[in-house]
Structure 1
Amino acid sequence: MSLLRSAATISGLTLLSRITGLIRDILIARTFGASPFTDAFWVAFRIPNLLRRLFAEGAFSQAFVPILGEQKAKQTPEHVKTLLDHVAMVLFFTLFIVTLLGIIGAPIVVWITATGMKENAGLQETIWMTRVMFPYILCMSLVAFASGVLNTWKKFAIPAFTPVLLNLSMIFACFFLVGLFAQPIYALAVGVMIGGIAQLIVQWIALAKIGLLPSFRHNLKEAWADPHVKRIIKLMGPAILGVSVAQISILINTNIATWLPSGSVTWLSFADRLMEFPTALLGIAIGTVLLPSLTAANTKGDIENYSQLLDWGLRLVFLLGLPCVLGLALLSEGLVASLFHYGAFSHQDVLMTKTAVFAYAIGLIGILSVKILAPGFYAKQDIRTPVKIAIMVLISTQVFNLIFVPFFAHAGLALSVGLGASMNALCLYIGLRRRGAYLSRTSWLPFFIRLFPALLLLGLWLYYAQQFIDWQMLDPHSINHWLGLKIAQWLGHLSWIPSASRIMALIIVLLGSMLIYFASLFIIGFRIRDFTRVR
């Protein structure tokens, strides 16, 4: 399977995840709006998510996947299976203890995370939901273990699909569990735990099918003594520091948001959901398929192939990421209004979320590039360099917060994150070049010159389209005038016209954007075959 096909598989399934995630957030926005209680849920949900990224998808994956790939290439299947058993045991018991401590110490954790929350404005609700959702970190750590194994064996589909299960369980909670609780928002916390368990079951079934389901029959002391487990733990030390720096930045931003006007945490969460579309479809998908290939190239000492892989990833990031920047920036109000402006989600909520989306768009290329460049270090089992860069970025991000938050409030937090990520990407790029690990063969200036006309036409189309649409006060007759379609007038007789007309207009604008951009690329001379192979 080619890298592009693997990335496309992950992107397609990730798209399904993001679509179900949008449906989930639309239901949350319609049902609960932006209030102290929704802020309480997003704060409580962010706590296990921070730890998940720290212990599971972050530090653990960065340390585990390169060593697993190395052992798979050099050792017998029996030796690899024993390693998997040992790693799974150590991971489970460590995170089990962390989970217990988190449940017991939930009030302290919430106080550290959200010092701006008041007793009468969601504090107790946050503590309750934090306790309910803390075991999610245990489930997702074992899911991250399974994903690392499946991705190393080039089984990318199941890990990319399982996040859909979390979204479906939360959608189920919105429909069927809300009435079971005196405080309806509690249903979402229960839905998160159902989703975590479902993801774990599906991924471990996938491990069983390829004969790699870990066994817990070994002695825990024996597992700790395994030299490869010790290597993973040793690598996880700086990796935890590196990932924790990024999570500390998110933690600080969440804390600052709790001091801003009520609803700020929710506005940022919904803006982050829109920003995650391109981040997951491009950055995470490409980075996921790159890491095993980069590890294999590094193991063989093939610097040429290693560099070509990074070139391939960066070319795709710019080719597909730059139009996403334009889309998020110029279509921010259309996206937010079409998806969330229903029920309890007010006109003011749309405006506040829109500014955060625009701010995130400024740093999107930096966020995507980090997902490509950081695996270049992880494949070499060099985690210390990204850690040093991350510490510098953390400091810089907080300086940005001091500058931008007084002027732009919650949007200043989003802008600081994007600018920090851009600095991170630049430093990673310079680091790889200076150590001679990345010898780029792409002529970047001609590449961007060829790309510019397509981006210009896309930007003009998006700007032109906005002149005809008032996304929040959408009138079907204005659409009829703009599109020349009688169907809009017919839709005006239906009670769900606001949602129908917005969604119809958004779909047409997006389809027009895709047609203009990709047709322009084809005319300019870009071809799919240029990206189906590493050259």
Structure 2
Amino acid sequence: MSESTPKAPSAEVKQPGLLRSSSIVSVLTLLSRVLGLIRDVVVAQYFGARADAFFVAFKIPNFFRRLFAEGAFSVAFVPVLSEYRRLRPIDEVRLLIARTSGVLGAALLGVTVLALIGADYLPWVFSPGFRDDPAKFALTGDLLRITFPYLLFISLTAFASSVLNAYGRFAVPAFTPVLLNVCLIFAAVVMSDWFEEPLFGLAWGVFLAGLVQFVFQLPFVARLGLLARPQYNAQDEGVRRIGKLMVPALFGVSVSQINLLLDTLLASFLEAGSVSWLYYSDRLNNLPLGVFAIAIGVVILPALSGKHAADEKDGFSRTLDWAVRMVFLIALPAALALVVLAMPLMSTIFYHGEVTAYDVGKMTMSLQAYGCGLMAFMLIKVLAPGYYARQDTATPVKIGIQAMVVNMVLNLILVFPLQHAGLALATSLSAYYNVWMLYRGLRKQGVYEHQKGWMGFALKLLLANGALVALMLVLMGPAAQWLDWSAAQRAGWMTLIVVASVAMYFAILVSAGLRVRHLRGEVF
């Protein structure tokens, strides 16, 4: 770029390192996820397992949001925007944003209108098991008419987040989901009393949350000088490239969401409450996934895209290797904790109000099954950007389709002996297949090479995690006693276990020679 070429607003600003950026996103995501757990506790306390209709009505727009907005669109848009930012003047960057937002907004509006028209039929696809309960089936469709516009608002929010992330502004997008949880907590506590059917209050809370999150991000995009009036131009060169990349990415980046949707569909045929049990256990499993793996994936995608545009092959490989190490550092102890402490965690968080001891036992089974796959879920989030940053969305889609087939076969095998927990276990096992194929592809293409020090790093992890499991088992005691304790006793003892376990885990790693400087990513 010549000196006379205009630069993007933040082009001269030094970008933070990967560890610092990931830490910022992780802390803010942790705040969001903690509020999310509080939200789920409130919903569980007010509605228990009878909120199945709402969860399906919320899951449908959420599925499309993760599929299109945070899934396919983000992985297609960020690499192209990062390339424009590095190689083109600011006017072309702003034009790309204007035209992309115009095309995206028009498409979302069309999908939303069609969904509102067909709201009575969508439950036939996403929860056919509800047909045996006509009242629940009809309620799901009515709730869906209120919740589905959330897709329009939250997808535009994801668009704004992608712009901010591409310019290294990670904090605002990471904080934005906090507003969703605040709105839903308010809806459960206050708005549910406004309706004869309280679940309608929750549905309107979803609608409000989408609108609030979108409006919140606009001033920050404007501060970058990139808030442009939408223009509909589907023939724009950049827009066409994004669209071309999105088509295969629809499957490649969203396999886990499709698998979870299949779980919901099959669970609707099982014992009443199965959808809610899977939902609550998946939410808890998503806490470490969202706080760490998704945060790392968000940070490395623009970093990898920039290195690919600059043809920095060694830097690309080092960034990927750093991300994989960070996942192993966090995912392994988190997965072990979810499996070992499943009953204490579920009883501490959800054993209140309408939730029974029977519900806790069922949620424990599915949490352990999801926990077994946490490592795979996390690795997918950091390996997939290795393809998307190089604008290769074809390879992940092939792997994604294979993984979906594996998941469907395992679902049919495991659902009969294990019921809802079998669905969760099938999702976990298929995720490992997905990880292996992504990893093997990156290695074969020569874009990911292991850096030095993996053997020593693995030995440190083995030592620390072995001690971690022993400590958790000793402190946990008999699992059944947790149901006999008061809420205060459960919360107090769980806090002690978490604090002691985290302190010992990192103390052993430090004693074994691991230092913060070993965890710093490159400056990008």
Could you tell me the TM-score, scaled by structure 2's length?
A: 0.95
CA RMSD of aligned residues (A): 1.3
Structure 1 residue 157 and structure 2 residue 167: aligned? no
Query: Could you tell me how far apart the structure 2 residues matched to 1:141 and 1:295 are?
Result: 22
Q: Secondary structure at the match of 1:187?
A: helix
| Secondary structure class of the residue paired with 2:74 | helix
8 Å CA contact 2:343, 2:479 repeated in 1: no
Cα distance change on mapping 1:246 and 1:365 into 2, 3 Å: closer
1:260 matched residue in structure 2:
270
| Counterpart residue type for residue 510 of structure 2 | F
- Whether 2:128 is the aligned partner of 1:115: answer yes
Where 2:384 maps in the other structure, the secondary structure is: helix
Q: Does 1:363 align with 2:379?
A: no
SS in 2 for 1:438: coil
Identity over the aligned pairs, expressed in percent? 41
Structure 2 counterpart SS, 1:473:
helix
Question: 1:347·1:472 contact (CA, 8 Å) conserved in 2?
Answer: no
Does residue 213 of structure 2 align to residue 199 of structure 1?
A: yes
Q: In the alignment, is the contact (CA less than 8 A) between 2:256 and 2:427 conserved in 1? A: no
- Note the residue ranges of structure 1 that are not aligned, 5 or more in a row: 476-497
CA contact (8 A) 1:471 1:502 kept: no
- Counterpart in 1 of 2:382? 372
- Partner SS for 1:18: helix
Matched, 1:18 2:6: no
Quote the residue 2:201 is aligned against.
Answer: 187
1:34–1:345 Cα contact (<8 Å) kept: yes
Is the alpha carbon distance of 1:275 and 1:442 closer, same or farther for their aligned partners in structure 2, counting shifts above 3 Å? farther
**Contact in 1 for aligned 2:75/2:388 (Cα 8 Å):** yes
CA contact (8 A) 1:11 1:282 kept: yes
Partners of 1:529 and 1:132 in 2: CA distance = 49
How many corresponding residue pairs? 507
2:251, 2:506 → 1: CA distance? 41
Alpha-carbon shift at residue 471 of structure 1 (Å): 4.7
Residue in structure 1 matching 2:440, options 430, 440, 460: 430
Indicate the residue corresponding to 2:97 in structure 1: 84
- 1:385-396 aligned within 5 A: 385-396=395-406
Find the partner of 2:362 among 348, 352, 373. Answer: 352
Q: 1:328 to 1:429 in 2, by over 3 A?
A: same
Name the residue aligned to 1:135: 149
Q: Per-residue deviation at 1:392?
A: 0.4
1:28 is aligned to 2:43: yes
Task: Give the TM-score taking structure 1 as reference length.
Answer: 0.93
The CA deviation at 1:242 is 2.9
Contact 2:256 2:431 in 1 (8 A): no
Q: Does 1:525 align with 2:513?
A: yes
Q: Distance in 2 between matches of 1:301 and 1:533?
A: 18
Deviations 1:415-472 (A, max 9, x none): 1111111111111000000011112214433321221111111000111112266454
Q: Could you tell me which of 190, 214, 217 is aligned with 2:228? A: 214
Which residue of structure 1 aligns with residue 18 of structure 2? 3
CA distance in 2, matches of 1:167, 1:399: 35
Q: Which digits, 9 at most, give the CA deviation of each residue in 1:106-148, with x for residues without a partner?
A: 1221111111003445111110111101111101110111011
CA distance in structure 1 between the aligned counterparts of 2:68 and 2:371, rounded to whole angstroms:
28
Distance 2:503 2:288 in 1: 18
Matched position secondary structure for 1:260: coil
1:304 and 1:471 mapped to 2: Cα distance? 53
Partner of 1:415: 425
Is the Cα–Cα contact under 8 Å of residues 267 and 274 in structure 2 kept in the other structure?
yes
**Per-residue deviation, 1:241:** 3.8
How far the C-alpha of 1:249 sits from its partner, in A, is 2.6
Aligned to 1:234: 244
Task: Report the alpha carbon displacement of residue 272 of structure 1 after superposing the two structures with TM.
Answer: 0.7
Q: Which residue of 1 aligns with 2:299?
A: 289
- 1:272-316 deviations in whole A, cap 9, x for unaligned? 111111101111000010001101111111111101001100111
Displacement after TM superposition at 1:533 (Å): 3.4
- The one of 506, 512, 515 aligned to 2:500: 512
Q: Does residue 188 of structure 2 align to residue 174 of structure 1?
A: yes
Partner Cα separation in structure 1 for residue 388 and residue 323 of structure 2: 15
Question: How much has 1:473 moved relative to structure 2?
Answer: 3.2
Q: Take 1:390 and 1:365, find their aligned partners in 2: how far apart are those partners?
A: 17
1:224 matched residue in structure 2 = 234
| Superposition deviation, residue 195 in structure 1 | 0.8
**Following the alignment from structure 2 to structure 1, what is the Cα–Cα distance between the partners of residues 494 and 123?**
39
Q: Return 52-61 or 235-244, whichever deviates more.
A: 235-244
Which residue type is aligned with residue 193 of structure 2? G
Structure 2: gaps (5+ residues): 1-15
